[in-house]
Amino acid sequence: MHIIEAFGRIFLSTLFLFEAVRKFFYKDETIEYMESFGVPEILFYPSLFFELIIPIFLIIGFKTRISASLMCLFTLFVSIIFHSDFSDHMQIISFLKNLSIAGGFLIIASYEAKMCTIDYYFKYKKTN
C-alpha cells in the first residue's frame, strides 16, 4: 500500500511540475497573465521556484507534511486569485478542481511518513 501513496504524491505533484516548466518557457505570457489578475511580476520567480521545488520534495517524501501543507495553501491561494469569477462555469470547474487537489494535499499532510519517503528513512535510521 505504500507504493499507492507514493503514486498519489506523484500524481498530485505532476500538475505543478508541468506548470513550472511551462512558466519557464513562456515567461512573458505568464507574467502578463499574472499581472492581469493584479499579481506583480516580482512574484514570477518565487512562484516558479515554489512550483518546481516543493512538488519534488513531495514526490521524494522530504518533509512530506510540511510540503503537502504548503502545496495545499498555494493551491487555495491560486484558486482564490485566478479562479474566483463564479459567473464563468469554467472558472467554477477550475476552482472546484483546485479545491479537490488541496484536499488531496491535506490527506497527505495528515499521515505519518510512509515507507516510500525520505522522511521514513530518516525516522527509521534514527531509531536504529
- For the residues of the chain, what is the DSSP string, one character each? -HHHHHHHHHHHHHHHHHHHHHHHHTHHHHHHHHHHTT--GGGHHHHHHHHHHHHHHHHHTSSHHHHHHHHHHHHHHHHHHHS--TTSHHHHHHHHHHHHHHHHHHHHHTSPPPTTSHHHHHHHHHH-
pLDDT at residue 3, rounded to an integer = 86
Q: Give the span between the Cα atoms of 67 and 73, in whole angstroms.
A: 10
Tell whether the model's pLDDT for residue 127 goes beyond 70: no
Average pLDDT over residues 12-37: 96
Give the pLDDT band of residue 23 (cuts 50, 70, 90): very high
Q: What share of the chain has pLDDT > 90, as a percent?
A: 80
- Name the one residue in this structure whose C-alpha cell is 500538475: 15
- Name the one residue in this structure whose C-alpha cell is 530518516: 122
> What would the grid cell of residue 14 be?
505532476
